[in-house]
Amino acid sequence: MSITITAFESSPDRGAGRARDMRVRWALEEVGQPYEVRLVSFAQMKEPVHLALHPFGQIPTYEEGDLALFESGAIVFHIAERFPGLLPADPDARVRAIMWMFAALSTVEPPIVDREVVEYLENGRNWQGERFAMVDERIRGRLKQLSTRLGDGEWLDGAFSAADIIMVHVLRRLEGSGLLEGFPNLAAYIARAEARPAYQRAFAAQLAVFNSGAAGPALPSKIPPGGMS
Protein backbone atom coordinates (compact mmCIF):
# COMPACT_ATOMS: atom_id res chain seq x y z
CA MET A 1 0.00 0.00 0.00
CA SER A 2 1.49 3.33 -0.97
CA ILE A 3 2.44 5.89 1.65
CA THR A 4 2.15 9.67 1.24
CA ILE A 5 3.42 12.22 3.72
CA THR A 6 3.22 15.99 3.71
CA ALA A 7 6.11 18.40 4.12
CA PHE A 8 6.76 22.12 3.80
CA GLU A 9 6.86 23.33 0.22
CA SER A 10 9.24 25.97 1.49
CA SER A 11 10.79 25.05 4.82
CA PRO A 12 11.94 27.97 6.97
CA ASP A 13 15.04 25.94 7.84
CA ARG A 14 16.19 25.87 4.21
CA GLY A 15 16.82 22.13 4.15
CA ALA A 16 18.46 21.77 7.56
CA GLY A 17 16.11 18.88 8.33
CA ARG A 18 14.61 20.43 11.44
CA ALA A 19 10.97 20.30 10.41
CA ARG A 20 9.13 17.25 11.66
CA ASP A 21 8.66 15.55 8.31
CA MET A 22 12.35 14.64 8.71
CA ARG A 23 11.48 12.19 11.55
CA VAL A 24 8.89 10.49 9.40
CA ARG A 25 11.15 10.32 6.34
CA TRP A 26 13.93 8.88 8.50
CA ALA A 27 11.66 6.21 10.04
CA LEU A 28 10.42 5.20 6.58
CA GLU A 29 13.98 4.98 5.30
CA GLU A 30 15.02 2.84 8.28
CA VAL A 31 12.28 0.30 7.55
CA GLY A 32 12.86 0.47 3.80
CA GLN A 33 9.41 1.72 2.83
CA PRO A 34 9.11 3.92 -0.26
CA TYR A 35 6.93 7.00 0.14
CA GLU A 36 5.52 9.94 -1.77
CA VAL A 37 5.71 13.50 -0.50
CA ARG A 38 3.03 16.11 -1.05
CA LEU A 39 4.50 19.56 -0.51
CA VAL A 40 2.19 22.15 1.02
CA SER A 41 2.50 25.89 1.44
CA PHE A 42 1.69 27.67 4.71
CA ALA A 43 -1.57 28.85 3.12
CA GLN A 44 -2.53 25.37 1.89
CA MET A 45 -1.99 23.95 5.39
CA LYS A 46 -4.86 26.11 6.65
CA GLU A 47 -7.26 25.16 3.85
CA PRO A 48 -10.09 22.62 4.29
CA VAL A 49 -8.41 19.90 2.22
CA HIS A 50 -5.38 19.83 4.50
CA LEU A 51 -7.38 20.54 7.67
CA ALA A 52 -9.36 17.36 6.98
CA LEU A 53 -6.07 15.51 7.38
CA HIS A 54 -4.58 17.65 10.11
CA PRO A 55 -6.96 19.52 12.43
CA PHE A 56 -4.21 21.95 13.47
CA GLY A 57 -3.16 22.79 9.94
CA GLN A 58 0.40 21.55 10.19
CA ILE A 59 2.84 19.08 8.67
CA PRO A 60 3.64 16.22 8.73
CA THR A 61 0.69 14.01 7.87
CA TYR A 62 0.75 10.38 6.78
CA GLU A 63 -1.62 8.53 4.47
CA GLU A 64 -1.58 4.81 3.87
CA GLY A 65 -4.68 3.45 2.14
CA ASP A 66 -7.67 4.53 4.24
CA LEU A 67 -5.48 5.45 7.19
CA ALA A 68 -4.69 9.13 7.74
CA LEU A 69 -2.53 10.26 10.65
CA PHE A 70 -1.10 13.48 12.03
CA GLU A 71 1.40 14.04 14.90
CA SER A 72 4.95 13.03 14.09
CA GLY A 73 5.28 10.89 17.23
CA ALA A 74 2.16 8.89 16.40
CA ILE A 75 3.28 8.52 12.80
CA VAL A 76 6.75 7.25 13.73
CA PHE A 77 5.17 4.91 16.27
CA HIS A 78 2.78 3.56 13.63
CA ILE A 79 5.66 3.00 11.18
CA ALA A 80 7.58 1.18 13.91
CA GLU A 81 4.58 -1.04 14.67
CA ARG A 82 3.63 -1.66 11.05
CA PHE A 83 7.09 -2.52 9.69
CA PRO A 84 9.88 -4.46 11.39
CA GLY A 85 13.14 -2.86 12.51
CA LEU A 86 12.33 0.03 14.81
CA LEU A 87 10.92 -1.61 17.94
CA PRO A 88 12.36 -4.58 19.85
CA ALA A 89 10.42 -7.85 19.84
CA ASP A 90 10.88 -8.37 23.58
CA PRO A 91 7.78 -6.83 25.25
CA ASP A 92 9.70 -5.11 28.05
CA ALA A 93 12.31 -3.66 25.73
CA ARG A 94 9.51 -2.60 23.38
CA VAL A 95 7.62 -0.63 25.98
CA ARG A 96 10.86 0.97 27.16
CA ALA A 97 11.49 2.18 23.61
CA ILE A 98 7.94 3.58 23.55
CA MET A 99 8.58 5.23 26.91
CA TRP A 100 11.64 6.95 25.44
CA MET A 101 9.58 8.19 22.49
CA PHE A 102 7.22 9.84 24.96
CA ALA A 103 10.16 11.19 26.96
CA ALA A 104 11.64 12.80 23.86
CA LEU A 105 8.32 14.36 22.89
CA SER A 106 6.93 15.41 26.24
CA THR A 107 9.95 15.95 28.48
CA VAL A 108 12.89 16.92 26.28
CA GLU A 109 11.27 18.69 23.33
CA PRO A 110 9.04 21.29 25.09
CA PRO A 111 11.83 23.48 26.54
CA ILE A 112 13.68 23.25 23.22
CA VAL A 113 10.62 24.50 21.35
CA ASP A 114 10.26 27.18 24.02
CA ARG A 115 13.78 28.36 23.20
CA GLU A 116 12.77 28.90 19.58
CA VAL A 117 9.74 30.86 20.74
CA VAL A 118 12.05 33.13 22.72
CA GLU A 119 14.53 33.36 19.87
CA TYR A 120 12.12 34.19 17.07
CA LEU A 121 8.76 35.27 18.43
CA GLU A 122 9.93 37.22 21.46
CA ASN A 123 12.80 38.88 19.66
CA GLY A 124 13.11 42.53 20.61
CA ARG A 125 11.22 42.28 23.93
CA ASN A 126 13.13 43.90 26.73
CA TRP A 127 12.86 40.69 28.77
CA GLN A 128 14.12 38.42 25.99
CA GLY A 129 17.60 38.06 27.54
CA GLU A 130 16.17 37.02 30.88
CA ARG A 131 13.81 34.50 29.27
CA PHE A 132 16.66 33.09 27.18
CA ALA A 133 18.75 32.54 30.31
CA MET A 134 15.86 30.79 32.08
CA VAL A 135 14.99 28.54 29.17
CA ASP A 136 18.63 27.68 28.51
CA GLU A 137 19.05 26.73 32.15
CA ARG A 138 16.02 24.44 31.90
CA ILE A 139 17.39 22.83 28.75
CA ARG A 140 20.84 22.37 30.28
CA GLY A 141 19.23 20.58 33.20
CA ARG A 142 17.40 18.20 30.88
CA LEU A 143 20.51 17.60 28.78
CA LYS A 144 22.53 16.84 31.89
CA GLN A 145 19.97 14.25 32.99
CA LEU A 146 19.81 12.71 29.53
CA SER A 147 23.59 12.71 29.22
CA THR A 148 23.93 10.97 32.58
CA ARG A 149 21.46 8.28 31.58
CA LEU A 150 22.98 7.73 28.14
CA GLY A 151 26.50 7.47 29.62
CA ASP A 152 28.66 5.72 27.07
CA GLY A 153 25.72 3.83 25.59
CA GLU A 154 25.33 3.77 21.85
CA TRP A 155 21.55 4.26 21.83
CA LEU A 156 18.92 5.10 24.43
CA ASP A 157 18.10 1.54 25.42
CA GLY A 158 20.07 -1.22 23.74
CA ALA A 159 19.48 -1.47 20.00
CA PHE A 160 18.67 1.54 17.81
CA SER A 161 14.91 2.16 17.84
CA ALA A 162 12.18 4.61 16.89
CA ALA A 163 12.95 6.38 20.17
CA ASP A 164 16.41 7.30 18.91
CA ILE A 165 14.87 8.80 15.78
CA ILE A 166 12.64 11.07 17.81
CA MET A 167 15.24 11.93 20.44
CA VAL A 168 17.99 12.73 17.95
CA HIS A 169 15.66 14.83 15.86
CA VAL A 170 14.59 16.75 18.96
CA LEU A 171 18.20 17.30 20.05
CA ARG A 172 19.25 18.43 16.58
CA ARG A 173 17.09 21.51 17.08
CA LEU A 174 19.79 22.69 19.50
CA GLU A 175 22.57 22.58 16.91
CA GLY A 176 24.10 26.01 16.69
CA SER A 177 22.83 27.03 20.13
CA GLY A 178 26.07 26.06 21.91
CA LEU A 179 24.08 24.04 24.45
CA LEU A 180 25.11 20.62 23.19
CA GLU A 181 28.81 21.43 23.43
CA GLY A 182 28.78 20.79 27.20
CA PHE A 183 27.65 17.21 26.60
CA PRO A 184 30.11 15.33 24.37
CA ASN A 185 28.26 12.02 24.70
CA LEU A 186 25.06 13.63 23.40
CA ALA A 187 26.94 15.25 20.52
CA ALA A 188 28.47 11.84 19.70
CA TYR A 189 25.02 10.21 19.95
CA ILE A 190 23.65 12.69 17.40
CA ALA A 191 26.65 12.21 15.11
CA ARG A 192 26.24 8.42 15.30
CA ALA A 193 22.61 8.72 14.27
CA GLU A 194 23.38 11.17 11.49
CA ALA A 195 25.90 8.72 10.06
CA ARG A 196 23.18 6.11 9.48
CA PRO A 197 22.48 5.59 5.78
CA ALA A 198 18.73 5.90 6.39
CA TYR A 199 19.22 9.28 8.07
CA GLN A 200 21.35 10.46 5.18
CA ARG A 201 18.80 9.39 2.57
CA ALA A 202 16.03 11.17 4.49
CA PHE A 203 18.13 14.28 4.94
CA ALA A 204 19.06 14.36 1.25
CA ALA A 205 15.42 13.99 0.24
CA GLN A 206 14.25 16.97 2.28
CA LEU A 207 17.29 19.02 1.21
CA ALA A 208 16.41 18.30 -2.41
CA VAL A 209 13.11 20.14 -1.83
CA PHE A 210 15.04 23.23 -0.82
CA ASN A 211 17.52 22.85 -3.66
CA SER A 212 14.67 22.55 -6.15
CA GLY A 213 14.23 26.26 -5.57
CA ALA A 214 10.90 26.15 -3.83
CA ALA A 215 12.20 27.76 -0.65
CA GLY A 216 12.06 31.46 0.07
CA PRO A 217 13.76 33.55 2.74
CA ALA A 218 15.44 31.99 5.76
CA LEU A 219 14.27 32.16 9.34
CA PRO A 220 12.98 34.24 11.05
CA SER A 221 11.08 36.04 8.33
CA LYS A 222 9.16 32.90 7.32
CA ILE A 223 7.69 32.12 10.71
CA PRO A 224 3.92 32.30 10.62
CA PRO A 225 2.19 34.49 13.24
CA GLY A 226 1.09 31.47 15.25
CA GLY A 227 4.66 30.25 15.56
CA MET A 228 6.23 27.15 14.11
CA SER A 229 6.30 24.81 17.14
Point out which span in 15-23, 93-101, 143-151, 208-216 binds ligand GTB (CB under 6 A): 15-23
Query: Which of these, 191, 200, 103, lies nearest to 154 by C-alpha position?
Result: 191
Chain positions 170 to 229 lying near ligand GTB, rule: CB under 6 A, are 219, 224, 226, 228-229
For ligand GTB, the closer CB: 91 or 176:
176
Binding pattern to ligand GTB, positions 42-71, x when CB under 6 A? Answer: x--x-----------xxxx----------x
Residues 6+ apart with CB under 8 A from 30: 85, 86, 165, 196, 198
Q: Does 97 bind ligand GTB (CB under 6 A)?
A: no
Strands 3-8 and 36-40: parallel
Q: Does 12 bind ligand GTB (CB under 6 A)?
A: yes
The widest CA-to-CA distance across the chain, in whole angstroms, is: 53
CA dist 156 and 16 (Å) reads 24
Query: Which of these, 136, 146, 138, lies nearest to 183 by C-alpha position?
Result: 146
Number of residues that bind ligand GTB (CB under 6 A): 20
What angle separates helix 21-30 from helix 197-209, to the nearest 10 degrees?
A: 140
Point out which span in 9-17, 81-89, 154-162, 197-205 binds ligand GTB (CB under 6 A): 9-17
Q: Does 37 bind ligand GTB (CB under 6 A)?
A: no
Question: What is the nearest approach in angstroms of ligand GTB to the Cβ of residue 50?
Answer: 10
For ligand GTB, the closer CB: 58 or 161:
58
Question: What is the nearest approach in angstroms of ligand GTB to the Cβ of residue 92?
Answer: 26
Question: What is the nearest approach in angstroms of ligand GTB to the Cβ of residue 31?
Answer: 19
CA distances from 173 to 39, 66, 114, 128, 170 (A): 22, 33, 11, 19, 6
CA dist 146 and 191 (Å) reads 16
CA dist 21 and 66 (Å) reads 20
CB 150 within 8 A of CB 119: no
Contact pick of 3, 5, 18, 167 for ligand GTB (by CB under 6 A): 18
Question: What is the nearest approach in angstroms of ligand GTB to the Cβ of residue 116?
Answer: 7
Binding site for ligand GTB (CB under 6 A): 11-13, 18-20, 42, 45, 57-60, 71-73, 219, 224, 226, 228-229
